[in-house]
Structures are given as structure tokens and as C-alpha cells.
Structure 1
Amino acid sequence: MSTAKRPVDLLTGWPSPSLLPPAQLEAAAHTVLSNPDLTREALRYGEDEGYLPLREAIAGWLTKFYEPKETISYDRICISGGASQNIACVLQTFTDPVYTRNVWMVAPTYFRCCRIIDDSGFGGRMKGVPEDEEGIDIDYLASFIELSENKAIDEGNLEPKLKTKYPWREHTYKHIIYAVPTFANPSGKVMSLRRREQLVRIARKYDALIITDDVYDMLQWPAATSTDKSVMAKSAMPRIVDVDRYLDGGPTSEWGNAMSNGSFSKIVGPGCRTGWAEASPKLAWGLSQCGSSRSGGAPSHLVACMIHQMIITGDLDEHITGKLLPAYAKRYRRMMQAVQTRLFPLGVTVPQPDKEVAGGYFIWLTLPKELDGEEIRRRAQEEEELTICSGAQSRVQGDEADEAKQFNHNLRLCFAYADFDVLDEGVERLARVVKASLKK
């Protein structure tokens, strides 16, 4: 009889196939494609800013969840082809690869973003900013962004060099700051409100645009494993784009200094390739004029019409609160219990262990200093048929100045994709590898 282990995947950061909503999408598609008026709209080129009914629906939906001081207006919303595509469009529109000094990335970072940034001409100028207990080391950022600005002034880099000014991109930012402030990928950390306010003030001082991936915000639940509660209908933290909207009297220019990058990939399905950006009306409109959107209108227009139906019928909210949140909360608690039971005794730790609210997809582990994360990853694959992500994969590409930002003693586990019944088994396999490595 074979003794081969079944493979366990705790690497893939995708929604679990069992939690996708094909029935709701089918119903939305039927509505759109059976109504001649909706069909004509859905199958034509869309407006640059995106399908207006969806923009209006998203504005109301976000207002209900985040509860900002004022209602979010549809002119703050621009439909995108998903979070990754939207970052590329932002960089194409609002940066200059010579004039824009650096892209500052909270580290560890969503590593696939590095190639998008590199493609826009910032190879070698992506700089990692370490996390601290509040989510970002603000003193580190302030110090190094000041040095970068002084260098640009000394070199006479005072005007955009390669980008022609047009009405939709009258402003070119000197710096870009990239973060996943809520349930960060990969660390799972939540940036404090104090840090968010400090970050906005720095962005205003140095003419930076903060791009935040807010794709996990609605996937939140109480962290405690002792509670059965899994549904939290209101955001636990204001977004940075909301902070920029109100802090110290509001933005210092009509462009603002923050943009929220949203996506339906984690709450409907990544195959939809549909998302949105929220920013000042001026920036949202300018973003819609990016050449790839201006050529044929907003991307994913057909799916945008379908998702609009899911929002207005309540199917999307029901899917999130009735299916995703209970399932992901149960998965998170199952994995955390296994981590606490099997890995904590071996000296493994997690950031923000006493947090009240958890969410997202990932648990970030710090190994004992004598262990190498990449070696543990390799042994887990070879000896235990366990696929995980080493921390080194989450470093900022090209920023190798500080060993502390290489994350050689970290691992990332995803609890969202694998079947629920293998989460404990996967952590048990990892514990065997860690224990054996400590004995060496």
C-alpha cells in the first residue's frame, strides 16, 4: 500500500474554489443578457470612467461599509480591470520615471507588485520601509524620503522629464508610497489610525501619492477563537483615502495624496478581472484617461454590468456575510489554533498576536533565528508534500541594503485556498520540519 502523502498547498493566495459564487453570477448574467437594453449596454464599449450604474452602486456600498463623514460620490470612483492592472495605469498616468524619485513599499510586500512597478521604469528605485508594531516604521520613511528629496534637489530634478502635461495628468507625483494597510499581504498586520494619519501628512509634505491595496478590508472577523461571531458589517478602520479626505481640513490640492485600490477578485472571483479605484474626483477622472482605458473604455465592461446586478440585488452582500466571512473566520481560527499548539512551543511567533480583529488570507510566521525560511520551505516541499511561501519572496525587489528587510526567517501561510480539513494537517507537517531543523 502506498504511503505517499496527499499534497497540501498553503501557498496559493486565491479564494477557495468551494467559496466562489457561480449561481449568483449566472443569475446576474441572465438578467443582463436577457434584457435587450442591458445587453446593448453591456456588449458595447464602456465609458472611460466605467459603467455609471456600477460606479453609483459601489459608492453607496462603500459608504455603508466604511461610514465616512460624508457620502462617497460616484465621481470619486473609476472602474478598473482589477487591482494589479490599476496600479499599472496609475503609474503610467501620474509618475515620470525620471522625475518621480522612488516608490516606497511597506516591507514585507506583495511581491508581484514589484514587476508592475519595474515595468514603469522604477527598477532599482523600489525602497522597502519596514513594518513596526503599528504597521509601518514612519520615522524610517520620513528619514529616507527626506534624503531622497534632497538628492533630487541637488541634482536639479525639479520638473517632469519624460511626461507631457495634459489636463488629465497636470500633476506628476514626486514619490509613490505603496501599502496594504489592512490585513497586509503577507504579514496580516493592520496599520493603526495614528500611522495612517502620519503617513498622509508625510505624503502631503513630500508630494507623494499613497496607493493602498484595500482588497481584504471586507474580509474581517473577531480574532478570538473563543467567539462564534464571524460577521462584521462595518469596517474596523478608516481607509487612508478617507483619512486624506478629512485630516487637517482635507487635501492640500484637488488631486489629493491617496488612492484606494479595490477589487472583486477576493469577494467574487479573480476571473472577473474587475475592480475600482477611489480617489479625489480629479484623480479618478485623470486615471480614467489612461491610454489603455481611453482607447476602448473601462475594462471588463460586461462583467461590470453583471457585478452591478449582484450589488443592487443584495446577492454580493449575502455572499460576503453569509458565506465568505463565516468560512474564512473558521479557517483562520483553525489554522491559528494549530500554529499556537504546534509551532509556538518551537519558538515560532506571529505579529500582532493580541489583535482584536483578524482578516484577509494570510498568517505570517517568524522562525527562530537559527532557521532559514527558504530552507524550511524547500524541506517542507520535499519531505512533507507541503507547499508554502518563504519570507524572502516578499522582499522589495532590488532593495538589498538591509538584511532585516530580506525576511530570511519568515514564512507565509494562506488559509483561504486549501480545503478546510487539511489546514491543521499542513501546520502539523510544517511543525515536523521545524522541529527536525532545530535538532540539527
Structure 2
Amino acid sequence: MSAAAEKPLINLIRGWPAPRQLPADLLKAAADRALADPAVFVPGLQYAPDPGFQPLREELAAFLDAYYHPDGGGGAAAPDAARICVTGGASQNLACILGSFTDPAYTRAVWAVAPCYHLSNPVFEDAGFKGRLRAVPEDDEGIDLEWLERGLRSFGSDEPAEPVFKNLLPERKAYRHIIYAVPTSANPSGKTMSLRRRQGLVRLAREHDALVVCDDVYDFLQWPVLTTTTTAAAAAAAAGSGPESLLLPRQRPPPRLVDLGPGRHDAGGFGHAVSNGSFSKMVAPGVRTGWAEGTPAFITGLAHTGANRSGGAGSQLAAVMIWDMIRTGALAAHVDGVVRPDLQRRHGVLLGALRAELAPLGVRFEEPRSTYGGYFVWLTLPEPVSAPIVARRALTDENLVVAAGDMFQVKGDDGSGRAADGEDGARVRFPHNLRLCYSWEDEERLVEGVERLARVLRGLRDRPPTAEEAEEVQQAFGFV
């Protein structure tokens, strides 16, 4: 048996909520109440309306309004039920958005912020955009708008003048471009797009008839960054009196792109952004329930996606249970008293381990100033250390699973063709990056995982990769 096999597996790839975050008791109570009332369980067990369970739409409208516009201000229209439809989760709904608002001939390209959420790539390819995914790099403020604008302008022709393969009007339309982003606590980089970048992105979308699909799944998972003192206090409180003692005040997120208004290509009132939300991180992935928010016209069109009309909105019974959790206050209490405090604590523990073990080895990572969120920390290794080789050694030598940066490249666009356009294609390649997830493993295993990773990096100094190892990794990952 190898030395690695004798160690318990530590998985720092898995982006799942920890078992202690799953509200089985709250879901059971919600199901018991729903299934005891015919006025609730009859519609809840039938086919759903196309836009989803109406009571959930109404409760969700108020829930979102209270979160995004707590003072009633911000210049945005308050969410209402007509702006919301229930979905089968953010991933399924991404496919529905592409089905109803793109045409493979009319829509020119899909632009994705790089590094990108890797499992979005096959969704775009399945919708007919293989070979037409374009990477847009990000900096500390988020998406590089100058890079994106040059790319959008490179598609100068207006041909074809109308969709070729789909008959979408009048309830839907095809956009010329799709822009995919995770504006808040991005997967994998953890970055949050600044307000001015959000405003600039909407401006470009209006000008070029683009739809910005905002993966807003981490908006509710924000917290004040723990200092060494507050980390100790939080741990003591958690040990002493349970999660209810750790209720965190909500961190108001930046305005969503969906709240930033229409444009000149928008005669039908569809807008140029949609907020794609999910209960997977707030409740549980297994409920397979989410929502979309956009203009009423956009939401009507999305609800009329063919797969939706045959049987109605997905996850009807789960939608009923989530509705009950929202109306009783159970969801807000769970997110603020369990989910966010747990993630805040885990993130603080991981940062402490990174500072102690990896920073002295030249590894860089974001030191958040006041607020952080999501599930991930993005590491930059000192050159010329190869992330794929580190990931391979971590598994074979330490039984540690980490994600090498190449996993998060936009599929089909490695930046190699950008030099002719005067652009630095290396900005959309990630040979020296690793993503660590802190949501799944317990705190002590997070620390041990970082210690194992440090041993791998020190081992590379003593045992540099051989030519054979580099070739094997090249074949597996595409680069070293």
C-alpha cells in the first residue's frame, strides 16, 4: 500500500455544502405542514404552472426585495411575482435560457469570464455553441470590459438578420451575444465585480444586443471577514450555545445587473440581464429548485420554454416546501444562523492555514479586506511551478484532491490566437493556479489539507518533475 493510500482522502475540489448545513428537520416540518393541508398539497402534487408555484413566486419576491433593497432605495424596481419564475435550479435554467433566447446561427458567441465555472462549458456546447465560446479575463474589479468590447466589435456583420433555426417571437427573442458571469464571489476566483464594472457590462450588453446571464448563486453567502480574535470568539460561541448564537447581520451585496435597466435593442421589454438563482447553497442541492428574475416579458418567455410547458415548472413539490420555509422565516434563520456562520468560520480557518503554510512558499491568494463569500479560494503558485503537476503529486503522494487551474479555462479558447489582436492570451490560461474549496471538509481537515499541499510544494524542490512525469501531465491536462 502506498503512503498516500494510508492517509484519509481529503477532497478540496468538492463544491458541496457540508452535511451539517443540510436542514433536514426544516424540510421535514415544511413537508408535514404542506402534506396535511389539501389546499396546499393538491396543487403541490399536480403539474405546475409554467412560471412555477405562485405562492413561492410571491414569497420570493418579498424575500429578494428585503435582501437587495432593505431601505427601499437603490433606484431599482422592487421585485414582484411577474419578474420571477421557479426553475429546476441554476444549471437546468441556464439550458432553458439558451433554448429560449439564442439561435445557433443568429447568436454569434458566448462570452464567459475566465477563469470560469467549468461545468457551464458543456451546457453552452449542448446549445450549439461548440467552438464559439470566448474567454474574457478578469482583474481585481472583475470582467475586463475593454477586452470584451474589442471582442464584441469584431463581429461586425448583421447577418443573418433574423433567427434561422427557431421561431421565438413574440414571447421570446434571440440575442446576438450571451455573456456569462458569476458577479459575486465568482467560482473559481472568489472575486466580486465592482459596481462600475457591473454598470459598464450592462452598457455593453445594451449596445451589442447581448444577454448577461448572471449566476447569482452566492449572493446570499456573504460575511464579514474574521480576524484572528473574531475567529476565536466565533469558535467559542459555536461550541457554547449552538448556531443560533452566530446569527450574522446580512451583508448587502452590490446591485445585481438585472436591476440596471433596458436598452435600445429592447423594444420587446426583455432586458439585457437575467439573475439566475438557486436554493442549492441556501437549502440543499437535492431540492433541485431555483428561480430566475428578469423583466416580466423575459420571465414570460422563459416560462414558455418548450420543456417547461410540458409538465410545467420543475421541482413543484420542493417548491412548496421552500415556500413554507420562506413564509415561516425558517429559511432566513437557517441561512443567517447556520450556513453563513459555518462558511465564515471555515473560510477563516483556511486563510489561517494558507498564511502559515503556503505564503512562506511564495503562494499568493486574496486577503479580503472586509467581506468575503462563496465556497472557494484561488491560489497562484510561484512560477515556474506547474499546477497540474502539483495536483497530480497531491493525489499520488498525499491522497489530497485539488483542482488545477486548467479545469477553469473557457473550453475552446485558450488564448493562443490573441497575440495577433494585440492581446495577452496568457490571461485566460491558468497553468499556475489551484482552486481550494472550504465548504465540504471539516475545519481540521482543511488545515491538514493545506499542510499536505505544503509538503507537495516543498517536495517539488527536492524531487523536481521528470521529463516522463511532465509528458504524462501534458497529455492529461494539455500543458504543464
Instruction: Give the TM interval when normalised to the shorter protein.
Output: over 0.9
Displacement, 1:436? 1.8
Cα distance in structure 1, aligned partners of 2:264 and 2:94: 27
Match of 2:144 among 116, 137, 145: 137
Structure 1 segment 121-136 matched on structure 2, within 5 A: 121-136=128-143
Cα distance in structure 2, aligned partners of 1:251 and 1:331: 44
Q: Secondary structure at the residue paired with 2:410?
A: coil
Query: Structure 1 pair 438/244, CA: closer, same or farther in 2 (3 Å)?
Result: farther
Cα distance in structure 2, aligned partners of 1:394 and 1:157: 32
Cα distance in structure 2, aligned partners of 1:206 and 1:13: 34
Cα distance in structure 2, aligned partners of 1:251 and 1:326: 41
The answer to whether the Cα contact below 8 Å between 1:66 and 1:234 also exists between their aligned partners in 2 is: no
Query: Structure 1 pair 311/354, CA: closer, same or farther in 2 (3 Å)?
Result: closer
Match of 1:91 among 61, 76, 98: 98
1:378 aligns with 2:392: yes
CA displacement, residues 133-186 of structure 1 (integer Å, 9 cap, x when unaligned): 1111111001111102x1x34xx33321111133221x2100000000100000
Which one is further off, 181-190 or 218-227?
218-227
Q: Secondary structure at the residue paired with 2:139?
A: coil
Match of 1:53 among 35, 52, 55: 55
The percent of aligned pairs where both chains have the same amino acid is: 46
CA displacement, residues 252-276 of structure 1 (integer Å, 9 cap, x when unaligned): 7511000000000011000000000
Structure 1 segment 145-156 matched on structure 2, within 5 A: 145-148=152-155, 150=156, 152-153=157-158, 156=159
1:10 corresponds to: 12
The answer to whether the Cα contact below 8 Å between 2:224 and 2:251 also exists between their aligned partners in 1 is: no
Q: Secondary structure at the residue paired with 1:168?
A: coil
CA displacement, residues 228-267 of structure 1 (integer Å, 9 cap, x when unaligned): 687242423111112236xx99977511000000000011
The answer to whether the Cα contact below 8 Å between 1:64 and 1:234 also exists between their aligned partners in 2 is: no
Cα distance in structure 1, aligned partners of 2:299 and 2:93: 11
Q: TM-score, normalised by structure 1?
A: 0.95
2:468 corresponds to: none
Displacement, 1:95? 0.2
2:378 corresponds to: 364
Displacement, 1:13? 0.4
The answer to whether the Cα contact below 8 Å between 2:225 and 2:371 also exists between their aligned partners in 1 is: yes
1:291 aligns with 2:306: yes
Cα distance in structure 2, aligned partners of 1:124 and 1:74: 37
Cα distance in structure 1, aligned partners of 2:445 and 2:168: 54
CA RMSD of aligned residues (A): 1.9
Match of 2:369 among 329, 334, 355: 355
Displacement, 1:224? 4.0
1:77 corresponds to: 84
CA displacement, residues 181-228 of structure 1 (integer Å, 9 cap, x when unaligned): 100000000000010000000000000000011001111111242446
Cα distance in structure 1, aligned partners of 2:265 and 2:341: 37
The answer to whether the Cα contact below 8 Å between 2:223 and 2:250 also exists between their aligned partners in 1 is: no
Cα distance in structure 1, aligned partners of 2:196 and 2:267: 19
Cα distance in structure 2, aligned partners of 1:366 and 1:415: 17
2:428 corresponds to: 405
1:167 corresponds to: 170
1:115 corresponds to: 122
1:243 aligns with 2:245: no
Query: Structure 1 pair 166/250, CA: closer, same or farther in 2 (3 Å)?
Result: closer
Cα distance in structure 2, aligned partners of 1:144 and 1:191: 20
Quick one: which amino acid aligns to residue 36 of structure 2?
S
Question: When the two structures are aligned, how many residues end up with a matched partner?
Answer: 432
The answer to whether the Cα contact below 8 Å between 1:244 and 1:251 also exists between their aligned partners in 2 is: no
1:436 corresponds to: 459
The answer to whether the Cα contact below 8 Å between 1:186 and 1:394 also exists between their aligned partners in 2 is: yes
Cα distance in structure 2, aligned partners of 1:250 and 1:224: 45
Match of 1:421 among 444, 456, 467: 444
Structure 1 segment 307-326 matched on structure 2, within 5 A: 307-326=322-341
Quick one: which amino acid aligns to residue 434 of structure 2?
L
Runs of 4+ that moved beyond 6 A: 248-252
Quick one: which amino acid aligns to residue 261 of structure 2?
D
Q: TM-score, normalised by structure 2?
A: 0.87
